Amino acid sequence: MNSGGWTIAQALEALTSRRCSSEELVVDLLAAMKGIDQRISAFLSIDADGALDRARDADRRRSAGEDGRLLGIPLAVKDLIHVRGQPCGSASRILNGYMATYDATVIARLRAEGAVFLGRTNMDEFAMGSSNENSAFQMTRNPWDITRVPGGSSGGSAAAVAADEALAALGTDTGGSIRLPAAFCGCVGLKPSYGRVSRYGLTAFASSLDQAGPLTKTVADAARLMQVMAGADPLDSTSAPTPVPDYSAALTPRLDGMTLGLPKECLVDGIDPEIAAAVEKAVAVCERLGARVIDVSLPNTAHAIAVYYIIATAEASSNLARFDGIRYGARADGANDVADLYGKTRQEGFGVEVKRRIILGTYVLSSGYYDAYYLRAQKVRTLIRRDFESVFEHCQALLAPVAPSTAYRLGEKTDDPLRMYLTDVFAVPSSLAGVCALSLPCGMSSERLPVGLQIIGPAFKESHILRVGHAYEQATDWHTLRPSTGENVP
């Protein structure tokens, strides 16, 4: 049946017309995974029995005349989002063996609409990384070229969607962790505005930045999933009571009446010329679709990487203090006392990058350095947010690259953390500002690697960026390209 290449919209049409059942859809995807995932390692675990049970239940509900906006649709889930009865280890040894006892709010909402959860996708440990090489268990490979990274931290989710192992997947974005993998793997990734989607049930990395979002094959599918996921949640005090519009209704083939901004800080020296050229061509397409494009400036975004790696690591050092070998997860043997148990458990359980960020975060919060680093970073963060608020007085969305390069080779940047961190240079500013951003394919490099276009919108204006993304997508065919996962084995 080869259903892995279907969009959610195509699968729903096949299910409602009874051309296939949800059980057949899941069986088809599970069969595809057996061959494909041996090459790319997108999944940490697959819940075949649970997915088949849910699929059969969806088929029974459909036969009984019941409905659901995602009834019978299989989705993959990043390994830090709680799904009741499935492991939730955040790709870390310190949570090895931990099973989720409840659903995250996003999962509960998707489950209520009939979604089926296939399994857990690989990620950088505790979402700390840009390449997916920091997982404690395996290395996910890019389906377009398995010698290259899929991007991080939601690399397993993006690879699964790009390789047609899943119709769509859930990821999280703290500083680019949905958008970067989407760009590297050639799929669509949406980072919602901070507060638009509940964080309840997400293993926290940086609480003022984390947001869950979809990775899909089309912008329309991203809008469909966001419709279910978005909205205030009494279990998350940071979720906003802002009304959720009809995202699908915002999708139009034209951009007449829209003004789009092109930040001068994005197309600068150091960016891959092929990426700059692809983004410039995408800008021209948007103009042909009726948009007016103006030059804008976000001057304080030059400080975004430094600010991000102070604030995010400070919050990580606080959040990860709960992993101590006492309450859940792995516990080291041979400890002499409680302090020794904490130390040995964390030494054995955390990977190198996680330890690096905990140490950095603890340092910037320490006595004598709090004002010099953390407090100053928060002040600059406010300036960055004001930059975005200022430009959005003149335009409804911004166009920019997602990353300065296409997917790089495995191991290329692991020995140089600062070089790795700069991968997120175009993604981090919108995270600090709390605004929404979308990544979608806009070209291919000479090495046949996907190039991502980033569309950034004001806070809680996901409908703006979805409209721009959908119109661009309909006018081009980049989103229809698929990797030959059987032919890119060394």
Choice among 154, 157, 177, 431 that is catalytic: 177
Chain CA centroid to CA 195, Å: 16
For residue 169, the number of C-alpha atoms closer than 13 Å in the C-beta half-sphere is 36
Residue 330 · residue 95 · CB < 8 Å: yes
Chain CA centroid to CA 281, Å: 25
Question: Measured between alpha carbons, how far is 446 from 274 in angstroms, rounded to an integer?
Answer: 8
Structure tokens at 343: 């130390």
What are the residues facing 148 on neighbouring strands? Answer: 409
Residue 46 · residue 87 · CB < 8 Å: no
Choice among 21, 41, 153, 439 that is catalytic: 153
Asked if 153 is an active-site residue, the reply is yes
Laid out side by side, the sheet with 188-191 consists of 43-46, 116-121, 74-78, 169-173, 211-216, 188-191, 436-444, 450-457, 397-401, 259-263, 292-296
Choice among 3, 22, 78, 135 that is catalytic: 78
Burial class from Cβ neighbours inside 10 Å (0-12, 13-18, 19+) for residue 219 reads buried
b/e sequence 103-117, b meaning 16+ C-beta within 10 Å? bbbbbbbbbebbbbb
Question: Measured between alpha carbons, how far is 215 from 75 in angstroms, rounded to an integer?
Answer: 10
CA dist list (Å): 138 to 40, 202, 253, 352, 475: 10, 21, 41, 15, 38
Structure tokens at 408: 């790089």
H or E stretch covering 364 = helix 352-365
DSSP 317-336: HHHGGG-SSSSSS---SS-S
Asked if 78 is an active-site residue, the reply is yes
Question: Which residue numbers are catalytic?
Answer: 78, 153, 177
